[in-house]
Amino acid sequence: MACSNVCSFRPRAVSNCRASFGFFWICAPSSPNCSGVSAACCVAAAGVAAFVFDSATFDAGWIEAASKVYDVMMDQFWDDEAGGFFYTGNDHEQLIARGKDPHDGAIPSGNSMAVTALARLGKLTGRTDVAAAVEKTLALFRDTLNQSPTACSQMLIGLGIHAGPTVE
């Protein structure tokens, strides 16, 4: 999120955002496979890539990179049955339960960041599969959003991007 506040105003910040995306991409074992890396890492990478393309550089290479990270997110973290993103990948060690929490604290949840980043990616690319993932994630957490919207403030931002008119 820090990148989103400064990239459009300072060329050096654009460079820093690119470096951040590069770090997320490199830190994944067997890149571009993000297995072993938290969903939040992959979501942040997609968000940084989409943001840098959208607001600062207009370099189509970044949107391609964001689309690749989206594909990995869907392969590794997506819950086919209920929707939403797990915090651990499919090839992570076997756990008793795989979590996916929508609640934001000081750091937004992986699902909230997924909704925000993928809503923007869907708008930029026009990909209906991306929009469908956003809608299914929002549907999964609909009760939480209705009962306690301030608990998922980042997800509400993503909802606004997805549902509202945007100029992309």
**pLDDT tens by residue, 6-62:** 334 455 655 666 666 555 554 444 444 444 455 555 566 566 666 656 556 667 777
C-beta of residue 45 within 8 angstroms of C-beta of residue 21 = yes
Output the CA–CA distances (angstroms, integers) from residue 113 to 10, 30, 134, in the order listed.
24, 23, 11
Q: Which residue has the higher pLDDT, 6 or 112?
A: 112
Is the pLDDT reported for residue 75 higher than 70?
A: yes
Torsion of CA 46, 36, 157, 71, to 10 degrees: 50
H helices of the chain, in order, are: 2-6, 11-27, 39-51, 60-76, 110-125, 128-140, 142-147, 153-163
The model carries a pTM of 0.76
Q: Which two tokens stand for residue 80?
A: 């086919």
Query: What's the average model confidence in pLDDT over 143-154?
Result: 92
Q: Which two tokens stand for residue 115?
A: 């909704």
pLDDT confidence of residue 106: 82
| Model confidence band, residue 99 (pLDDT cutoffs 50, 70, 90) | confident
Residue with structure tokens 């391609």?
Answer: 64
Q: Which two tokens stand for residue 23?
A: 């770090």
How many other CB atoms are found less than 10 A from the CB of residue 74?
Answer: 15
